[in-house]
Amino acid sequence: MNYVIDHIPKSTPKNRRPAYAMQPTTITIHNTGNPSSTARNERNWLTNPSNDRTASYHIVVDEREAIECLPLTENAWHAGDGSGVKSGNRTSIGVEICESGNYAKTLDNAAAVVADLLRARGWGTDRLRRHFDWSGKICPRLMYDNGKWTGWAAFKKLVEERLHPKPKEENEVTTNVTLAAADANKIIPFLSAAYMAATDSASRAEFHRLANELRKASNQATT
């Protein structure tokens, strides 16, 4: 999956990038509500002259790529709970999951992105929120399941598996281990922090590759 940084301008109409400084405390998950739209479509919609909504979001993910539309240190209007300093709009990173294409692959990509966000901040899946948690809107709608929210539980489990991969079974071949997992896991958070600080997709891809090389060397699952 390719991670692209393509921030909308501060001059974007309808105050979609208000540029309020934000120190996020949670990550909020959404579905786009559009079965035919890609991540690129969603990014372009934010700057489309025919768009008359104030709504915006930080990251949008589909089966091929993730696009960062707003800096993660600025707020977006995605939670539907107003502009108060403690609102989801002012304290949470908004991640939109596309509904088009191979949705299972999109969910896997989204789980990888969210796990990286959590890891870089030293957070666990307890920091994840639904749009529903802020404003009562049935979103992410494809995880609702007639009020049972089984899709939400499954997504959180997928993120948890990405965040804390299970160790190999004892009877699996480990002859290629060249680095202790504990040592690799001491280094990977620094690469994750560099990944989040990078401002171009090539650098982020390289930090992600290096982290996976450490995981391979220590016989851990790659992400």
**DSSP string across 115-146:** HHHHHHHT--GGGEEEHHHHH----SGGGTTT
From residue 157, how far is each of 67, 111, 126, 183, 209 by CA, in Å?
23, 9, 11, 25, 24
pLDDT at 213: 85
Q: What is the pTM of this model?
A: 0.77
Find the range with the poorest average confidence among 13-22, 82-91, 152-161, 204-213. Answer: 204-213
* pLDDT band of 206, cuts 50, 70, 90: confident
Distance CA 14, CA 48 (A): 11
> Stretch 160-169: mean pLDDT, rounded?
85
User: Would you place residue 107 in the very low, low, confident or very high pLDDT band (cuts 50, 70, 90)?
Assistant: very high
From the number of C-beta atoms within 10 Å of its C-beta (0-12, 13-18, 19+), residue 169 rates as exposed
Give the domain ranges of the chain.
2-164, 167-223
70 band by pLDDT with thresholds 50, 70 and 90: very high
Quick one: pLDDT at residue 207?
Answer: 82
What is the chain's alpha carbon radius of gyration, rounded to the nearest angstrom?
Answer: 18
pLDDT mean over 145-161: 97
Q: What angle do CA 130, 134, 136 make, to 5 degrees?
A: 85
Return the DSSP state at 13.
G
CB within 8 A of 205, min separation 6: which ones? 2, 3
DSSP conformation class of 179 = S
CB distance 125 to 159 below 8 Å: yes
**Is residue 168 very low, low, confident or very high in pLDDT (cuts 50, 70, 90)?**
low
Q: Give the count of alpha carbons within 13 A of 43, CB side only.
A: 21
Q: How far is it, in rounded angstroms, from Cα 58 to Cα 196?
A: 13
The per-residue pLDDT for 192 is 80
Whether the Cβ atoms of residue 219 and residue 177 lie closer than 8 Å to each other: yes
Does the pLDDT of residue 176 top 70, yes or no?
A: no
Q: Would you say residue 175 has pLDDT above 70? A: no
Task: Name the percent of the chain lying above pLDDT 90.
Answer: 73
Mean pLDDT, range 169-183, rounded to an integer: 66
pLDDT of residue 50: 97
- Pair of tokens at residue 120: 């870089």
pLDDT averaged over every residue in the chain: 92
The band of 103, judged by pLDDT with boundaries at 50, 70 and 90, is very high
Quick one: DSSP state of residue 2?
Answer: E
Q: What's the pLDDT band for 95 if we cut at 50, 70, 90?
A: very high
pLDDT of residue 101: 96
Cβ contact 66:2 at 8 Å: yes
DSSP state of 110: H
Fold observed for domain 2-164? Lysozyme-like (3.40.80)
Residue 50 near residue 29, CB atoms below 8 Å: no
Higher pLDDT, 220 or 168: 220
